[in-house]
Amino acid sequence: MTGLRRAEKEITDRAEVEAVLEEAEVGRLGTSVDGRPYVVPLNFAYQGGKIYFHGAGEGKKLRDIAENPQVCFEVDTAEKMPAEGPCDYSYRYRSVIATGKARMLHDIDERTDALRVIVEKYAEGKGAEITLERMERFATLAVVEIEVEEMTGKQSPAP
């Protein structure tokens, strides 16, 4: 263990925190209803202070959001660092935890824009193919926006 204090690992530059959100491939959505936490991994995209994801039109995460829209969202990136011996093993990582309010997007323009952002992240150059005309295919798809209220970043090793 390096003995670094938490503050030394904190990412304080907002642009760097956002870069971690943009780079991460998988996020983890945390909800809580009746004191029962629930975390689920999912694909997502971040843009302009908002996190977008989509999924089946029904299920636990959507029921939880309807009951309590206050959510937590976590992402991380990591790579194993070379080790000389068994006690030298470590990871180089960056992580972000964001909190905010989630809401289902029902407006067709909002849904279309959000899906374009998600598609562009995972299939670069294909976001423009999500048109209003094609949205009929996605009528049962849930599209959710998280308005980020607060986010913190952390990295190791510290810079």
3-class SS string, 43-84: CCEEECCEEEEEECCCCHHHHHHHHCCEEEEEEEEEEEECCC
Model confidence over 24-33: pLDDT tens digits? 999 999 999 9
pLDDT digits 0-9 by tens, 77-118: 987 667 676 776 667 889 999 999 999 999 999 999 999 999
Cα separation, 43 vs 68, in Å, equals: 21
Phi, psi dihedrals of residue 33, rounded to the nearest 5°? -135, 135
Q: Is the pTM of this model over 0.75?
A: yes
Q: Which domains does the chain have, with CATH numbers?
A: 6-154 (2.30.110.10)
pLDDT tens readout for residues 13-68: 999 999 999 999 999 999 999 999 999 999 999 999 999 999 999 999 999 999 99
